[in-house]
């Protein structure tokens, strides 16, 4: 078949979670408690609620204790700050995550600054972002870390390759670009103001789409034999009137001409959750070493 290999995030995530489960069991019997993760959610944003459920379910599967807190949409800034302070002090909590977005009356950036950098399992505290910028070890943002782990698993050589990252958010695009740079790729970051996007993407040996627009990347914008990573998650209504998830890449057309491609779902998404679990275990082992 001319079809390329799929970068199977779902299968890799499962393998890593099996290893984490065994490690958590060992840590629990050595130190007397499981690693703990607190996911803070504000309001009832349906997509966020689904992500939070997913994260908590994954914790349970590998034996990590969940200390989730769900606040009403009108919660005050100071109440969340107090909760973060308390969780920062709590010796049973190794990871704290604020599910974004939060309602507009809250200062999300300041809340992220409040989280103890050693418990910042989403890697969004300025100290951890600074470490990433310097190429130092630290807690790293889960989606970008998951992408890098997937590339490594399939032994994709990044040295000297042209990598184009479409999207420049602090959550996905920027940290992925920094990690690719650290891995010696030559990195271009594109965004909504980029001129001639197709011209850039056609030169990409590694193309990362992290935008949130279905079919933004079509086959004519992809270099033959490229490696395509689709971070986007978009809910669309298909021809049968059914709701389903797609990425930013026109998957059926692009898969025929690329060397490797991530499916949506089953590519980057499962890796993201798994890196969150891994960061929580990493943070636990650091406090016990
Ligand atoms: P943001 O909305 O924060 O960022 C989107 C980026 O895309 C921006 O930098 C924006 O540019 C850029 N952009 C928008 N339109 C275009 C365009 N027409 N051409 C080029 N660039 C464009 O989203 P996130 O980074 O948070 O998420 C991106 C996608 O990834 C979403 O679909 C999200 O659901 C998904 N996601 C998936 C995860 C997973 O686990 N698989 C985890 C996190 C997110 P500008 O800066 O100029 O506005």
Report the distance separating Cα 235 and Cα 2, nearest Å. 28
Candidates 3.30.230.10, 3.30.1360.120, 3.40.50.10860, 3.90.70.10; CATH matching 32-117: 3.40.50.10860
- Portion of the chain with pLDDT greater than 90, in percent: 95
pLDDT level of residue 4 (50, 70, 90 thresholds): low
pLDDT level of residue 288 (50, 70, 90 thresholds): confident
pLDDT digit string (tens) for 170-210?
A: 999 999 999 999 999 999 999 999 999 999 999 999 999 99
Three-class secondary structure of residue 70 per DSSP: strand
Look at residue 3 in the predicted model and tell me its pLDDT. Answer: 60
Instruction: Consult the annotation and say whether 169 binds a ligand.
Output: yes
**Nearest-atom index, ligand 1, CA of 248:** 32
pLDDT digit string (tens) for 101-127?
A: 999 999 999 999 999 999 999 999 999
C-alpha of residue 211 to centroid of ligand 1, in Å: 3
Listed by start position, the domains of the chain span: 32-117, 142-268
Overall average pLDDT of the 45-57 stretch: 93
Beta strand 243-246 with 234-237 is antiparallel
C-alpha of residue 164 to centroid of ligand 1, in Å: 14
Overall average pLDDT of the 154-179 stretch: 98
Question: What is the length of the chain?
Answer: 289
Active-site residue flag, 174:
no
Active-site residue flag, 122:
yes
Overall average pLDDT of the 61-76 stretch: 96
Buried b (16+ CB within 10 A) or exposed e, 255-275: bebbbbbbbbebbbbbbbbbb
Residue 152 has pLDDT above 60, yes or no: yes
Per the model's pLDDT, the better-predicted residue between 174 and 137 turns out to be 174
Report the distance separating Cα 214 and Cα 2, nearest Å. 24
pLDDT averaged over every residue in the chain: 96
* Predicted complex ipTM exceeds 0.90: yes
Active-site residue flag, 238:
no
Q: In 10 A of CB 242, how many CB atoms? A: 8
Report the distance separating Cα 48 and Cα 56, nearest Å. 12
For the ranges 4-8, 135-139, 159-163, the one whose mean pLDDT is highest = 159-163
Overall average pLDDT of the 225-231 stretch: 98
Q: Which CATH architecture has domain 142-268?
A: 3-Layer(aba) Sandwich (3.40)
Overall average pLDDT of the 266-289 stretch: 96
Look at residue 1 in the predicted model and tell me its pLDDT. Answer: 43
167 within ligand 1 shell (Cβ under 6 A): yes
Look at residue 289 in the predicted model and tell me its pLDDT. Answer: 80
Per the model's pLDDT, the better-predicted residue between 246 and 68 turns out to be 246
Residue 240 has pLDDT above 70, yes or no: yes
The pTM for the full model equals 0.97
285, containing H or E segment: helix 268-287
Residue 2 has pLDDT above 70, yes or no: no
pLDDT level of residue 219 (50, 70, 90 thresholds): very high
Indicate which residue's Cα is closest to atom 47 of ligand 1.
192
C-alpha of residue 226 to centroid of ligand 1, in Å: 21
212 within ligand 1 shell (Cβ under 6 A): yes
Overall average pLDDT of the 39-45 stretch: 95
Catalytic residue among 8, 55, 94, 278: 55
Look at residue 158 in the predicted model and tell me its pLDDT. Answer: 98
Catalytic residue among 99, 140, 221, 278: 99
**Nearest-atom index, ligand 1, CA of 212:** 32
Catalytic residue among 94, 118, 120, 122: 122
């Amino acid at each position: 078949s001319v079809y390329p290999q799929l970068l199977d995030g779902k299968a890799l995530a499962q393998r890593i979670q099996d290893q984490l489960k065994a490690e958590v069991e060992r840590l629990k019997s050595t130190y007397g408690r499981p690693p703990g993760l607190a996911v803070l959610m504000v309001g009832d944003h349906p997509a966020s609620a689904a992500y939070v459920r997913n994260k908590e379910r994954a914790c349970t599967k590998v034996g990590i204790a969940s200390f989730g807190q769900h606040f009403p949409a009108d919660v005050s800034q100071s109440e969340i700050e107090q909760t973060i302070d308390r969780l920062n002090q709590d010796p049973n909590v190794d990871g704290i995550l604020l599910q974004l977005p939060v309602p507009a009356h809250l200062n999300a950036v300041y809340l992220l600054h409040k989280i103890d950098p050693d418990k910042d399992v989403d890697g969004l505290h300025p100290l951890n972002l600074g470490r990433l910028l310097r190429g130092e070890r630290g807690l790293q943002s889960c989606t970008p870390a998951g992408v890098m782990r997937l590339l490594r698993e399939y032994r994709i050589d990044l040295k000297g390759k042209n990598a184009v990252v479409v999207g420049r958010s602090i959550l996905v695009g920027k940290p992925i670009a920094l990690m690719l740079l650290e891995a010696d790729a030559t990195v271009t970051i594109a965004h909504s103001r980029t001129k001639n996007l197709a011209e850039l993407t056609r030169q990409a040996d590694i193309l990362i789409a992290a935008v949130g627009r279905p079919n933004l990347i079509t086959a004519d914008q992809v270099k033959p034999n490229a490696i395509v990573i689709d971070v986007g998650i978009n809910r669309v209504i298909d021809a049968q009137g059914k709701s389903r998830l797609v990425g930013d890449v026109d998957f059926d057309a692009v898969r025929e001409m690329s060397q490797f491609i991530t499916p949506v779902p089953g590519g980057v998404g499962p890796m993201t959750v798994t890196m969150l679990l891994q960061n929580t275990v990493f943070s636990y082992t650091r406090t016990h070493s």
